[in-house]
Amino acid sequence: MSGKPSTRPGGRSARVQRSVHEAVRELEAEQGRDDLTVPRIAARAGVTPSTIYRRWGDLRELLADVAVQRLRPETPPDDLGSLRADLEHWAVAFLEEMSSPPGRAHIRDALAGDPDGDNAGRCSAYAVEQVETILARAAGRGEPAPGTDTVLDHLVAPMMYRILFRPGLLDPRYARELVTDLLDHFTTTP
């Protein structure tokens, strides 16, 4: 329903987005999410409720937009000198972050406000970006490596499936085992 929020930095549009996102985060921290309403968010952000409805459509879409923003990685993945080490390190951190209670809540919000898959697609694009950084480094080192889609299918997807559908089955060892399976079975020389 809602248009893609523009992110031209410095413009009025970007200022509105920043203050509304900040209002959501503050109110959520202060009062919990069950009491969030568009009028309260608007009052805190210093905009009119109709500004929010016009831009985001409804509360669910706004929460999805805020959630996706929070799932955005802040830094590129660490470079530990080998593909295996980079993937293991990244996967363990991804599993830990996404399976934490706030991580889960953000994933659920991103999926909920999402009849056409836009917000969830942005989450997946973040993972693609991180994986591609790791794979580009491996290529630079001349290491054999799987392709991006293979990493998504056999490393990211299993972790996300367990986080969403089988939350009892998660520990860092699981992430490492997936990396081992991935590199044992799906590696092709460059």
- List of residues contacting its own copies (CB under 8 A): 108, 111-112, 114, 117, 120-121, 123-124, 152-154, 156-158, 160-162, 164-168, 178, 181, 184-186
Residue 64 C-beta: closest distance to its own copies, Å = 11
Nearer to its own copies, 79 or 171 (CB): 171
Phi, psi at 188, each rounded to 5°: -125, 145
The C-alpha atoms of residue 3 and residue 1 are separated, in whole angstroms, by: 7
End-to-end CA distance of the chain, in Å? 43
Residue 3 C-beta: closest distance to its own copies, Å = 19
Residue 135 C-beta: closest distance to its own copies, Å = 17
Residue 47 C-beta: closest distance to its own copies, Å = 25
Q: Which two tokens stand for residue 55?
A: 């831009």
Nearer to its own copies, 41 or 64 (CB): 64
The C-alpha atoms of residue 157 and residue 152 are separated, in whole angstroms, by: 6
Cβ neighbors of 178 (< 8 A, separation 6 or more) are 91, 154, 155, 158, 159
The C-alpha atoms of residue 179 and residue 190 are separated, in whole angstroms, by: 18
Nearer to its own copies, 77 or 158 (CB): 158
Nearer to its own copies, 80 or 111 (CB): 111
